[in-house]
Chain A
Amino acid sequence: MRKNAILGAVLGAMLATTAGATVAQAADREIVIGYQAPLSGDRSQYGEMFRNAAQIKLEEFNASGKLAGAKVAITFEDSKDDPKEARNIAHKFLDNTKIVGVIGDFSSTVSMAAGEIYAAEKMPQLSQTASHPDFTKLSPWQFRNITTQAFEGPYNADWIIAAGKKTAAVIYIQNDWGISALDGFVSGFKAKGGKITATEAFNPGNRDFRSILTKVARQKPDVIYLAMFYEEGAAFAQQREQLGIKIPLYGTSSLYSPKLIELGRESVEGLHLATTFTPDNPDPAVQTFVKEYAARFKSEPGMFAAQAYDAVGIMLDAVAKAGPSVTRESLRDALAATTNYPGVTGATSFDPVTREPAKALAKMMVKDGRFQVVTGP
């Protein structure tokens, strides 16, 4: 008897929610954006940041009244940073006729796995972080709002050469993204007359860099260039300190997170990197976002949260431009026409041919326990 009562209550509650949803739809047209990101598994911290930032942007947008006669909703799916999951999600999103555009995924590998399906079935896809050069080459349906390693690598290489350093060892994570970061940096560094002493890959999930450090220390390069994420970056810097190695560290923007300093402490002092987002930026849009994020989620937003915030913003602005009766086709065209979208990671425009975003990078280093903008080499 008790079991039946509980079952009844649950069913009742479910019916009530469904009824509620139907009423809401009747009142207003609903446009849905799919968001696929790793919400569980060992990259889930990034998915959480994306979801947090996306929620803030979505509420701002719906409250702004930019889109009359319709409300936008975002439906999240957990890709677990797994290409197989991403493909399943892609099919699921395609089957849902309300979904007109997709944001995600996190890593280039997973974004491209889903992207192949979106390309074939004509669904616009915007990744907040996929920086592999091939991602936007999949089809005219792929967009991203992050600078690629083909751009960032040579930029960092110029910076290192300008600082009078001629030799570098590169440590990179063994995945699509890591390899593209390696290629971007190495070609840029060699083009400027620099010499690469070693390129060392490590497998994702590895936290012991002592043997790589020992090997690299033997060659005495002027700098070590890190193409990895902040968890690994913090471990790398700590172990470098334990081994008494003093070679300066430079890294990709993926290291840019308050967590790098929280985990790495003194060992990350002096680490240099270039990034599109700094929470210290006095721009009012940045400060509004930083304050709102901190108030809701009790932490300072890093570059990843900012990337998602802007990706959602770009997508929603495109939806608004395409009007309340938006289709996948019209949304793609509206996305492609994005020019000077005023985001917290700088103004974004898509190149009409390559759909690559043009963005400005800021040079930063860790100084006195926080990221600070550096001017000059």
Chain B
Amino acid sequence: MVFDVFFLQQVINGLSIGCVYALMAIGFTLIFGVLNVVNFAHGEVYTIGAFVGLMVITAMAPPLLAVVPLVLAVGAVSGVGLERIAFRPFRRFTDEASQKSRAMREATLLSSLAVSIMTREIMMHIFGGDMQGIPSGYLLQQPVAIGPIMVASGSLVIFATSAVMLGALQFLLYRTQTGLGIRAVSNNQLGARYVGINTDRTIVTTFAVGSMLGATAGILVGLYDGAISPHMGFAPGVKAFVAMVMGGLSSIPGAVACALLLGVSESIATEFLSSGWKDLITYSLLVITLVFFPQGLFGHGRERA
């Protein structure tokens, strides 16, 4: 009696949580793809998106769709700011040796971690460590029955948003001049610079776009969860990171597919094991992927400096 309607419900539960991971993984992977450096502050951009969204909602009670452009703008600004503070200072050295230097990459990684911790602590001092409730009119928690299966309205919104983001990003990357620039810088930063691409501007654009997606993810997940806190970015950030690595580091569709895979695996595993084992499933999948597919499931095996 395992494969019944409850089992189907578990798959749907898994897809809902997988979509939350995916929503976060999209912006995360985009930035990694271009700079080849993990942006540890992505979780904080996500949290900022949620808090700014909530502030706007409590202050002005606008329709939900009006909140989105504002959150997008805040995301773009924080992305540009983040790039300026944590990443640009390390790009002063433009010679090939510095660009390929491992120390430089690790320093960048740590500076993003530093900015992430600082941002989180500052938010804690401003908003307090407590969970903040969302006004009930904005919650995305209405139960929606699809036959015998129940989903929350938020799951559908998050699913649709992930699909739109993924589509829009693929369009941006493969159909526009900006996208061509991003792909060129991602492939070979020095080469792109030699052929006259403004790499600084491309990187700033990538940060702005990636952080816009991150901030939107934050507010949507906040409305879906019903509460936000300065720590909300950490747990999905870790899962998004795993999805990114499994997906092959720079493949955005790969990260999305792996995020969904993680969500569904965790959810189905709960049927057979205690759910306390959930994180073990995630990391086992990561290890299995890395052992058997060192380039990730969707990796291109490109050379890494």
Interface residues of A (CB under 8 A from B): 40-45, 47-48, 174, 199-203, 205-208, 210-212, 214-215, 217-218, 231, 234-235, 238-239, 241-244, 259, 262-265
Contact = CB atoms under 8 A, between A and B. Distances in A.
A259 B278 contact: no
27 contacts: A40-B121, A42-B229, A42-B231, A45-B128, A45-B131, A48-B128, A48-B130, A200-B276, A201-B275, A202-B275, A206-B235, A208-B13, A211-B14, A211-B267, A211-B270, A211-B275, A214-B10, A215-B6, A215-B271, A218-B4, A231-B131, A231-B227, A235-B225, A241-B143, A242-B142, A242-B152, A259-B130
Q: Which 7 A-B pairs have the closest CB atoms?
A: A44-B129, A201-B276, A211-B270, A210-B13, A45-B130, A211-B267, A42-B231
Contact of A200 (B16, B225, B227, B275): B275
Interface of B: 4, 6, 9-10, 13-14, 16-17, 20, 121, 124, 128-131, 133, 136, 141-143, 145, 150-152, 225-227, 229, 231, 234-235, 266-268, 270-271, 274-276, 278-279
Contacts of A244: 143, 145, 150
B150 A43 contact: no
Contacts of A206: 235, 275, 278
Contact of A211 (B10, B130, B143, B151): B10
B267 A210 contact: yes
B133 A263 contact: yes
Contact of A45 (B121, B129, B225): B129
B263 to A, nearest CB: 9
A242 B133 CA distance: 17
A201 B271 CA distance: 13
A210 B149 CA distance: 12
B276 A214 contact: no
Nearest to A202: B275
B304 to A, nearest CB: 32
B270 A243 contact: no
Given A40-B124, A217-B6, A242-B141, A202 B271 contact: no
A263 B226 contact: yes
A202 B133 CA distance: 22
A241 B141 CA distance: 9
A265 B145 CA distance: 21
A263 B231 CA distance: 16
Given A40-B124, A205-B235, A212 B275 contact: yes
Contact of B276 (A47, A203, A207): A203
Contacts of B225: 207, 235
A47 B128 CA distance: 11
A205 B275 CA distance: 13
Contact of A203 (B9, B20, B150, B279): B279
A192 to B, nearest CB: 24
A164 B124 CA distance: 45
A182 B1 CA distance: 28
A72 B17 CA distance: 51
Nearest to B1: A218
B150 A242 contact: yes
A238 B270 CA distance: 19
A262 B133 CA distance: 7
A259 B131 contact: yes
A203 B274 CA distance: 11
B6 to A, nearest CB: 5
Contact of B13 (A202, A203, A214): A214
B9 A48 contact: no
Nearest to B17: A208
B6 A202 contact: no
Given A211-B10, A244-B145, 20 more contacts: A40-B124, A42-B231, A200-B276, A202-B275, A206-B235, A207-B225, A207-B235, A210-B13, A211-B266, A214-B6, A214-B9, A214-B270, A215-B270, A215-B275, A218-B4, A218-B6, A231-B229, A234-B131, A243-B9, A263-B227
A233 B128 CA distance: 20
B17 A238 contact: no
Contacts of B9: 214, 243
Interface centre among B6, B13, B136, B278 (most CB of A within 10 A): B13
A199 B273 CA distance: 11
